[in-house]
């Protein structure tokens, strides 16, 4: 590889290959040190790649949507003497107390007054590359660079006819088959938001049907449109990225750890009333409150009473964790991810609500970093949000328990000898029978149910 070519780097997570999702530059652009040049999708997350040099782009060597091995030349600069500055050992996403590299960059950009006195060598450090000069922000508030038809946004004002969209939203549009040039953005300056993409996808799939119901003919047309007509009867989708990793992890977990499952129906009427009271509490005014918050606190409370559950099988020994890194399974356009809240047992109820909100938003926006998905101790999956009564999940590798909560519905329930309508759900999960036995599992699930039935226990 010549001096003026830039190879796909290992971003510090043992990367072997990655897909180029979005180019933020194009031939002819002049790039500066640490300027984001592209976004890649690794097996675990979306990662922005900064430039380790300055100069003019001559050629993009890899098209978007292409997966290439680490070390492959992806970009060429103008001139024969361009020599990328040597990079130090890659900084993992777990560095700096687990803060994502992109977040560190945003902090550096937001607080220039706190930079080093050596201004010429100061600047944001991204994905392990050194710094060498002040870095001008190319971001809007919110942390993600906007892409204008494949080009990173500059400081110029919005221009009519251009499409402003963040990389995760562009990836969502690609996955849903939405043509962004036909989508009207509802965000500031015409920026296309996730809701705009979902609305466009929904409109395309329903054939523009109006709300309030469709006739048999419209339904047939929608079905025909969904399955296609006149095209190929089958298509093959490559298994890569996070889908490939999830598949391997689930197979390993399912056929390595002996799963055992228990579940219990619970009267969650008081939980629903408790959630309603929290929403009216000023302390929770700026955070989202849902039954998942009560469930999360219930799991932490039950772990304190049954510490054996907060363990991991390690062959000839069992590792007992004296901390709780609470994983929340999140369905995203990229697939299933399980980021976790570090030291969740130390958080107040308000802090836990804030952490859940941040975690789920980052997952939904596709910016969850590898460090956020590592070192989990127990996982919660809320299948109820999909209207499902219950499901038996597969353990997250390295953990002994995954707890599931089904939908909360009004059902007939016997209260003091009389049948009354109550808000009922099902809780339970899957457990590694190598680590814990049925009595511990049953007590653990019963303790979670007790909190959902009497959430005042959270205050004890």
The catalytic residues are: 433
C-alpha distances (whole Å) from 52 to each of 5, 21, 33 are: 11, 19, 6
Half-sphere exposure (Cβ direction) of 433: Cα atoms closer than 13 Å: 9
Q: Are 74 and 84 in contact (CB under 8 A)?
A: no
C-alpha distances (whole Å) from 101 to each of 91, 134, 387 are: 8, 17, 36
Strands, DSSP E only, in 303-377? 311-313, 318-320, 326-328, 330-332, 335-337, 340-341
C-alpha span between 182 and 169 (Å, rounded): 14
Spatial CA neighbour of 408 closest among 391, 422, 428: 422
C-alpha span between 352 and 295 (Å, rounded): 11
H-helix or E-strand spanning residue 249: helix 241-254
The pair of structure tokens assigned to 332 is: 């995203």
Would the CA dihedral through 295, 301, 306, 311 be positive or negative? Answer: positive
DSSP state of 333: T
């Amino acid at each position: 590889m010549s001096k003026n070519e830039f190879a796909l780097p290992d971003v510090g997570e043992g990367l072997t290959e990655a897909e180029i999702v979005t180019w933020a530059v194009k031939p002819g652009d002049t790039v500066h040190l640490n300027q984001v040049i592209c976004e890649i999708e690794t097996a675990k997350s979306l990662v922005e790649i900064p430039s380790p040099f300055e100069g003019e782009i001559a050629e993009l060597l890899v098209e978007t949507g292409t997966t290439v091995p680490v070390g492959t030349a992806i970009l060429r600069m103008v001139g024969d003497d361009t020599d990328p500055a040597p990079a130090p050992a890659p900084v993992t996403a777990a560095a700096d107390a687990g803060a994502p590299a992109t977040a560190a960059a945003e902090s550096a950009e937001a607080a220039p007054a706190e930079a080093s006195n050596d201004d010429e060598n100061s600047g944001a450090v991204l994905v392990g590359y050194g710094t060498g000069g002040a870095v001008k922000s190319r971001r809007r508030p919110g942390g993600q660079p906007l892409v204008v038809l494949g080009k990173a946004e500059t400081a110029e004002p919005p221009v009519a006819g251009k499409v402003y969209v963040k990389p995760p939203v562009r990836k969502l549009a690609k996955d849903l088959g939405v043509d962004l040039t036909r989508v009207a953005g509802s965000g500031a300056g015409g920026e296309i938001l996730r809701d705009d993409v979902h609305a466009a996808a929904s409109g395309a799939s329903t054939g523009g049907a109006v709300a309030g119901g469709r006739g048999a003919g419209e339904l047939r047309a929608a079905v025909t449109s969904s399955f296609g007509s006149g095209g190929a009867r089958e298509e093959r989708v490559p298994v890569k990225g996070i889908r490939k990793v999830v598949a391997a992890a689930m197979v390993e977990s399912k056929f390595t750890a002996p799963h055992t499952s228990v579940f219990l129906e619970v009267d969650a009427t008081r939980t629903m009333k408790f959630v309603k009271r929290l929403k009216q509490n000023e302390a929770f005014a700026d955070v989202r409150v849902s039954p998942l918050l009560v469930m999360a606190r219930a799991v932490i409370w039950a772990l304190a009473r049954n510490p054996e559950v907060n363990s991991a099988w390690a062959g000839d020994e069992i590792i007992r964790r004296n901390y709780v890194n609470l994983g929340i399974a999140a369905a995203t356009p990229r697939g299933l991810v399980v980021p976790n809240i570090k030291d969740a047992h130390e958080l107040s109820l308000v802090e836990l609500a804030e952490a859940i909100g941040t975690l789920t938003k980052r997952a939904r926006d596709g910016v969850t970093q590898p460090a956020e998905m590592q070192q989990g101790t127990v996982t919660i999956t809320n299948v109820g949000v999909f209207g499902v009564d219950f499901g038996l999940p597969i353990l997250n590798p390295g953990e002994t328990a995954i707890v599931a909560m089904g939908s909360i519905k009004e059902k007939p329930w016997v209260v003091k000898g009389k049948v009354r309508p109550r808000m009922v759900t099902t809780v339970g999960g899957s457990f590694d029978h190598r680590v814990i036995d049925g009595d511990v599992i049953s007590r653990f699930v019963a303790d979670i149910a007790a909190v959902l039935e009497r959430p005042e226990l959270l205050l004890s």
